Each structure stands twice: as structure tokens, then as C-alpha cells.
């Protein structure tokens, strides 16, 4: 078990934690900040290819996090013939106020989903696949067994690399890892998302230490498989806090890190506190590299699965 004392940040009792910005702790989510010019997204030039992938996913009753989470890079990724599959349905049992994925009572797991994904992978001729999921707190293993079945099925095509972006499996970490490690991925990813001071607002129901421990335990079991995590900035975090999180991630063996700008999906989601400049992202990239991360992707539009194949290949 990963211990708190090894982590490079001072942990205090919840009542002693720094005060959360008023705008985050209220119900007034509407952001008054004007989106800067560096976040302008070009309209797609090849709608045919985008619609083709959307139709293939829809016809097979599959979901992509690109669509469900309103990813700003959807057009680019779909035009490049890539997609991140979101397994275990499209309804999340958590209520994280930054996320655009639907929340509520999850539906029954589709036992045919692994084969459907495999068939679509062949149809799209993918060589690098990212699997993520909604949080499934209703399942005894948090959905880990389904991840394992998907990996096992995809491995029938031996030249395909597989990255999984997993939830925290709240309270079921060891059970989940035992199932996943039967058929391990090529990259194990779990996003830390933001700094611990803001967790009660940004990730209600999650726990910073447990997320670190999940990454630590996987790396301990599978030391030769790269582990990866991601941060979204602009929610009121301080530079010193971000650096502390980067140190924590490095201390648990994470080698790949993504750092991007949080963007408010709708007026009902958390508001943006600050738009981080491209130069600031470069600064964070240089800091992460100086801490020893082997691969750092840092920029306004960077997302966890954005150019995931390049992130893996350049390790």
C-alpha cells in the first residue's frame, strides 16, 4: 500500500485544507471568462470520414468518449481514423461537475461489447486502441472484469497496442487490478485530474491518495508497463500545487503525463477560473521533464487520449 508520507505534498485534515474559491463552491457555474484566441478550433474539412466513424459506432451500439465528453479534438481524431472507446455504457454513476458524460442509474453491461469493439477495430484498421469507461460503482469489481474481457478479445489481433484509461474502482482497487493483470494492457492510464485541495468540488466521491495508490499498485505488479496520468488546469489550482501533484505522480512510477485546459461543457458545469496560456503550458512541460517524466504532452487542447499512439511510441 502506498503511504501518504512518501508523497510530496502536505496533507491536512479536511477542515484545514485551503479555502475553495467562492465561484467553485457556489451553484453559479456560468463562466464570464472570454475564450482566448488560442482555443479556437478549426472546422473539420472532411465531414465524410467523421460521419462514417460516428455511424459505425452508432450501428454497433458503441460509445466514444470523444462524443460523450464533448472533446474539442473529435474532428481531428476522427479524421485521423482514431477513437477512444467508452465501454460499460454511456451513463456514469458519479456526478463530477466538470464532466459532460451523462449521470444516473447505469444500464446492464453489454456482454457482447468486447466482440463489437473488436469488429469495429478491424473495420477501421486501428493499430492503437484506447479503452476508457464511465465509473460503475454499482458493479462489484467496478467494471474491471469487462476491461479484461475487452483486452483479451482485442489481443486476437496481435499487432494492436492497447491503452486503458480506468476509473478509480472506489474501494475495489485490489480486486480490479487482479482482474486487469490477467490480460494487461500496453499502457495503464488513470487521470488524477486536478489538485487535492479542490477534490471535494472537482471529483466528489474520489480520493487523491487512492488514485495515487491505484497507479502505484499497478506499477508494482507490472513494472515494465508504462503508467500514465492527466491533469486539467484552469479550475483555481496554484502553480505550486500542480508541481506537487507532478512530484506525487512521479513518485508512484508514472512516466507519461498529459496536461490540458479545462473547458466548461455547459453553463451547468464548473466554470473556468483561468485560461492557461500556451507559454504556461510549456513551462509545466519543462518542469515535468525536469522531474524525470519520459513523455509529457502539455497544451491547451491536450487531452488524455489525444495522440495517445504518439505518446506511447515516443516513450
Distance, in Å, from the CA atom of 183 to the CA atom of 195, rounded to the nearest integer, reads 31
Pairwise CA distance, residues 306 & 43, whole Å: 18
Residue 251, marked binder:
no
Asked if residue 92 belongs to a known ligand binding site, the reply is yes
C-alpha cell at 271: 466554470
> Strands (DSSP E) along the chain, which ranges?
63-64, 84-87, 91-92, 102-103, 128-133, 161-165, 187-189, 227-233, 256-261, 295-298
What is residue 98's DSSP assignment? T
Q: Are strands 84-87 and 128-133 parallel, antiparallel or unpaired?
A: parallel
Q: Is 228 exposed, middle or buried (0-12, 13-18, 19+ CB in 10 A)?
A: buried
CA distance 85 to 241: 32
> Is residue 255 within 8 Å of residue 226, measured between CB atoms?
yes
Question: Is 150 annotated for ligand binding?
Answer: no
66 annotated as ligand-binding: yes
User: What phi and psi values does residue 59 have, to the nearest 5 degrees?
Assistant: -65, -25
User: Which residue numbers in the chain have pLDDT < 50?
Assistant: 5-29, 68-69
Q: What is the pLDDT of residues 8-31, one digit of tens each?
A: 333 343 333 333 343 444 444 455
pLDDT of residue 172: 87
Q: Is 71 annotated to bind ligand?
A: yes
Label residue 209 exposed, middle or buried (CB < 10 Å: 0-12, 13-18, 19+): middle
d(C-alpha 140, C-alpha 43), whole Å: 43
DSSP 42: P
CA dist 211 and 40 (Å) reads: 32
Task: Identify whether the C-beta of residue 106 lies closer than 8 Å to the C-beta of residue 63.
Answer: no
Distance separating alpha carbons of residues 45 and 128, to the nearest angstrom: 24
Q: Are 252 and 219 in contact (CB under 8 A)?
A: yes
Domains and CATH numbers, the chain: 44-314 (3.20.20.70)
Q: Is 222 annotated as a binding residue?
A: no
Q: How far is CA 229 from CA 30, 107, 108, 147, 220, in A?
A: 28, 28, 29, 18, 16
- State residue 183 phi and psi, 5-degree precision: -135, 75
pTM of the predicted model, to two decimals?
A: 0.84
Amino acid at each position: 500500500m502506498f503511504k501518504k508520507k512518501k508523497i510530496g505534498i502536505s496533507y491536512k485534515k479536511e477542515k484545514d485544507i485551503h479555502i475553495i474559491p467562492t465561484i467553485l463552491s457556489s451553484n453559479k457555474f456560468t463562466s464570464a471568462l472570454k475564450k482566448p484566441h488560442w482555443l479556437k478550433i478549426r472546422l473539420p474539412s472532411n465531414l465524410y470520414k467523421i460521419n462514417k466513424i460516428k455511424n459505425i459506432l452508432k450501428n454497433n451500439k458503441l460509445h466514444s468518449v470523444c462524443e460523450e465528453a464533448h472533446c474539442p479534438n473529435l474532428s481531428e481524431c476522427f479524421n485521423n481514423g482514431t477513437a477512444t472507446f467508452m465501454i460499460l455504457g454511456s451513463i456514469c454513476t458519479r456526478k463530477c461537475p466538470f464532466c459532460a458524460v451523462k449521470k444516473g442509474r447505469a444500464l446492464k453491461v453489454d456482454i457482447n461489447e468486447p466482440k463489437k469493439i473488436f469488429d469495429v477495430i478491424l473495420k477501421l484498421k486501428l493499430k492503437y486502441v484506447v479503452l476508457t469507461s464511465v465509473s460503475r460503482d454499482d458493479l462489484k469489481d467496478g467494471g474491471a472484469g469487462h476491461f479484461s474481457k475487452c483486452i483479451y478479445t482485442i489481443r486476437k489481433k496481435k499487432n494492436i497496442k492497447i491503452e486503458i484509461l480506468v476509473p478509480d474502482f472506489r474501494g475495489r482497487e485490489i480486486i480490479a487490478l487482479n482482474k486487469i493483470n490477467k490480460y494487461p494492457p500496453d499502457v495503464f492510464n488513470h487521470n488524477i485530474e486536478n489538485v487535492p485541495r479542490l477534490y471535494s468540488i472537482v471529483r466528489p466521491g474520489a480520493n487523491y491518495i487512492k488514485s495515487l495508490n491505484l497507479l502505484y499498485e499497478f506499477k508494482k505488479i507490472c513494472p515494465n508497463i508504462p503508467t500514465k496520468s492527466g491533469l486539467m488546469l484552469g479550475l483555481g489550482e496554484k502553480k505550486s500545487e500542480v508541481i506537487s501533484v507532478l512530484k506525487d505522480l512521479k513518485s508512484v512510477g508514472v512516466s507519461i503525463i498529459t496536461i490540458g485546459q479545462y473547458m466548461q461543457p455547459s453553463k451547468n458545469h464548473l466554470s473556468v477560473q483561468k485560461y492557461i496560456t500556451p507559454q504556461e503550458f510549456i513551462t509545466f512541460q519543462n518542469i515535468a521533464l525536469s522531474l524525470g517524466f519520459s513523455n509529457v504532452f502539455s497544451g491547451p487542447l491536450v487531452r488524455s487520449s489525444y495522440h495517445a499512439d504518439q505518446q506511447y511510441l515516443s516513450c
